[in-house]
Amino acid sequence: MAHEDHSPSGPRSSRIDSAHSVRRAQATDAAEPIEFVEVGAEQAAHRSSADTDATSSALPAEPAPLEGHAGHAADLSARLVERQADIDRRHEAVVAQEAETEAKLRAARLWMEERRHELDEREASLDAREQTLERDGDSESSAPTLAVETARREVAEREQELDERQSDLHRRIEDFAKERAEFSERIGRLDAREKLLREQADQVEATVEEAQQELQANRMAEAELTRQRAEVEQAAEDIGLRADELAYREQQLAARRQELELALKRFERMGLNEERMAELEEQVGQFAARERYLSDAEALIAEERASLDKARQEHRDQVRHADERLVADRQRVTSDRAAFQVESKARNTQLDRREAELDQRQASLERIETELRATQREALEMRLATEETWSQLTGALAPAALTRSISQVRARLSDCYQHTLEAIVEQRGELRDAAAQVSREFELLERQRDELTGWAKRRNDELGQLAARLEEREKELDRQQYAFEKREARWRVERDDYRAQIRKLLAELREQQDGPALRLVA
């Protein structure tokens, strides 16, 4: 029964994750920080005057794509960390199962040695018993000797079968040790790759944080430019009002000058006195002072207009530079996103390959464990049959000791079957957990489909493949469960056959022992 073929596919849990994005290791060195022009107090003061035509200059658009890429990269990084944690948990579970299997191998090896020693002792005792029976006489010992020879051949055959199974078990143990060394080497390589993956995830997080800081600085610069534009508009409006006021005053002064000239001509004609002339001269002086004030105001307006033109040109230069930086940033983010997608695909491939290796290793461990249980169960059944036969042949064991020994062996058999049933129940629970996990992940993908429409279309194909794999695994598990139940039924039938054979042998032994006794009595 230990040499039966077992399916390599054990209970395996399938995970369906969203796309993972890992930034390249060179991306941090190649990315240049985004610099924004800081607007100082002096620069804001020089921009306080301009005409209203400069207020409609274009400002840099809000970098919404940069913020979206940063959020997407953060989400991918979080999912990557989550998947790494799940792989670590599965790795720890496989290591623990491997240690448990190794312990069971050692226990099985010790038990086989003990059983071999017991068989050697019983064979020696059987030889001694045979010699004793030979000394009792040919006529009286012919039938028991024949029974002893038959039992001895049966024990030798079973011992040979046990030796073959033990050699096969040793061979499997050696294969298991080789596979374990290879698996340890693979685990080391995978740990190195996982470490590199964590470093790249840290770089992605740092890049995302840097992008968020750059986005915040860009928004602050945009707010400052908006405030300066409002100040420039207000200054242009004030200058326009002042220019209108000065033009109105110039018109009034020109009209008054004409009035004064006409009045002087009239006064000259009318021959006004000197006092009136002095008043007129004083008014002329005031008008001259006002004219100088108007000239100074015009010069100041011209100076402010030149300063406003200069500030407008600087503002346009800043807007142009900001636009150029934004275009460069968007191009860099686009290239980084493409690199993220390429590396994410490569990393997903590596993770899938590692998951497949872990699943294969887990299936191998479960197959070895099943074979060990089958071997142990067969050995216990053989021990039960041997003890019953030996006790009937030698009559050395008391009925109470025989009953106790048989009860212990039967208890061990019951424990083996109980362990098998518990393993099947545990596998069913793992299947239910895997199905619940798959359902939750599908719900999450449904919620994210509206936000990531283009990406979800490609991802749906991958999800379909994973669902097909999961369905195949579930079918394989169902087939394994059916095979387990079928084998269990076959083991029960074989156990009943063995018990029937043992009873038959016991009955024959009783008949052979009772026959000579009756002849002696006769």
The overall pTM is greater than 0.85: no
In the predicted model, is pLDDT for residue 97 greater than 60? Answer: yes
- The one-letter amino acid code at 447 reads R
- For residue range 304-330, list pLDDT tens digits in order: 667 766 766 776 777 677 668 767 766
- pLDDT averaged over every residue in the chain: 66
- The whole-angstrom separation of Cα 13 and Cα 456 is 23
Report how far Cα 174 is from the mean position of its chain's Cα atoms. 34
- The one-letter amino acid code at 1 reads M
Place of tokens 């050692």: 106
- The whole-angstrom separation of Cα 234 and Cα 55 is 9
Contacts of 408 (CB under 8 A, 6+ apart): none
- For residue range 378-399, list pLDDT tens digits in order: 766 666 666 666 666 556 556 6
- For residue range 338-356, list pLDDT tens digits in order: 777 787 777 778 777 877 7
pLDDT for the residue 513 = 62
Work out the pLDDT band at 30, boundaries 50, 70, 90.
very low
In the predicted model, is pLDDT for residue 370 greater than 60? Answer: yes
Mean pLDDT of 455-484: 67
Q: Which is it for the CA torsion 163, 169, 175, 181, positive or negative?
A: negative
- For residue range 99-145, list pLDDT tens digits in order: 777 777 777 777 777 777 777 776 677 667 667 766 665 544 455 55
Q: Summarize the chain as % helix, strand, coil (round to 5).
A: 90, 0, 10
In the predicted model, is pLDDT for residue 21 greater than 80? Answer: no
In the predicted model, is pLDDT for residue 446 greater than 70? Answer: no
Place of tokens 């060179």: 26
Burial code (b: 16+ CB inside 10 Å, e: under 16) for 75-114 equals bbbeebbebbebbeebbeebeeebeebbeebeebeeebee
Among candidate residues 124, 105, 100, 266, the one with its CA nearest the CA of residue 170: 105
pLDDT for the residue 20 = 41
Work out the pLDDT band at 275, boundaries 50, 70, 90.
low
Are 24 and 200 in contact by the 8 Å Cβ rule? The answer is: yes
pLDDT for the residue 105 = 72
pLDDT for the residue 235 = 73
Burial code (b: 16+ CB inside 10 Å, e: under 16) for 283-321 equals eeeeeeeeeeeeeebeeeeeebbebbeebbeebeebeee
- The whole-angstrom separation of Cα 460 and Cα 443 is 13
